[in-house]
Amino acid sequence: MLILLMAVTTFGAAYSQTSIAHVNTQKVLDTMPSRMSAMKELENFERRAVKELQETQQKLQADYSKLQQEKPTMSPTAFKFEEERLMKKSQEFQTRQQELDEQIQILSQELNAPILKTVQDAIAKVCKAEKINYVIDESSLLYSGGRDITTIVVKEVLEMEKAAAAKATSGE
């Protein structure tokens, strides 16, 4: 009986020392100047890619329409050669579209990786300072009645970004 009582007491003490909190990482991300500039850079790249693809597609459609109009005056062999040329250009268009999609994905990952690392570092720093053992993102919570550290993490992230910007402007 004494052993059972000691085990329950020890487990209870260990459990009471465990601290759990939650954070709204989307809110944290939305306050970060580096994320805003990364999103702007990605949007500019996407806009240029879409413009390029639209212009290429319009040219292909115009060339195909022109070929259809000239078909009655062309020999079957000449028409076949022109049609094959346009099909090759269409395949090149599709390849370019896939390349641009991959480039957008890679750019997004490259831009977001340091931002996510900053958020993770800020959460780790807050957890250490606040003696928190576990942090759960609010997006995965079914119920949230516990401690919300979002505001503290936002402050930490902004301080980290300010320090990184100062370091970058001082030339280090």
Mean pLDDT of successive 10-residue stretches along the chain, which has 172 residues: 53 59 93 95 97 96 95 94 96 97 97 95 94 89 84 95 88 62
By the 10 Å C-beta count (0-12 exposed, 13-18 middle, 19+ buried), 104 is classed as middle
pLDDT at residue 28 in the model:
95
Residue whose entry in the numeric block shows the structure tokens 């370091």 = 167
Q: Tell me whether residue 26 is in a domain.
A: yes
Backbone φ and ψ of 121, nearest 5°: -65, -40
> What contacts 97, CB < 8 A, 6 or more positions away?
53
- Residue at 105 is within a domain: yes
Q: Could you tell me if residue 75 is inside a domain?
A: yes
Q: Which residues contact 96 (CB under 8 A, 6 or more apart)?
A: 52, 53, 56
Q: Which residues contact 64 (CB under 8 A, 6 or more apart)?
A: 86
Domain residues for 125? 19-169
Query: Is 89 domain-assigned?
Result: yes
The CB-side HSE value for 114 (13 A sphere, CA atoms) comes to 12
Query: Structure pTM?
Result: 0.74
Q: Note whether 134 and 7 are within 8 A (CB).
A: no
Whether residue 1 contacts residue 123, with contact meaning beta carbons closer than 8 Å, is answered with no
Q: What is the pLDDT of residue 145?
A: 78
> 9 in a domain, yes or no?
no
Q: What is residue 14's predicted lDDT score, i.e. its pLDDT?
A: 47
As a whole number of Å, the CA-based R_g of the chain is 29
116 within domain boundaries: yes
Task: Answer yes or no: is 132 within a domain.
Answer: yes
- CA dist., res. 118 & res. 161, Å (int): 8
Phi, psi of 51 (to 5 degrees): -60, -45
pLDDT for 37 equals: 95
For the chain, what is the domain count?
1
* Residue 158 CB contacts under 8 Å (≥ 6 apart), including other chains: 31, 32
Any domain includes 5: no
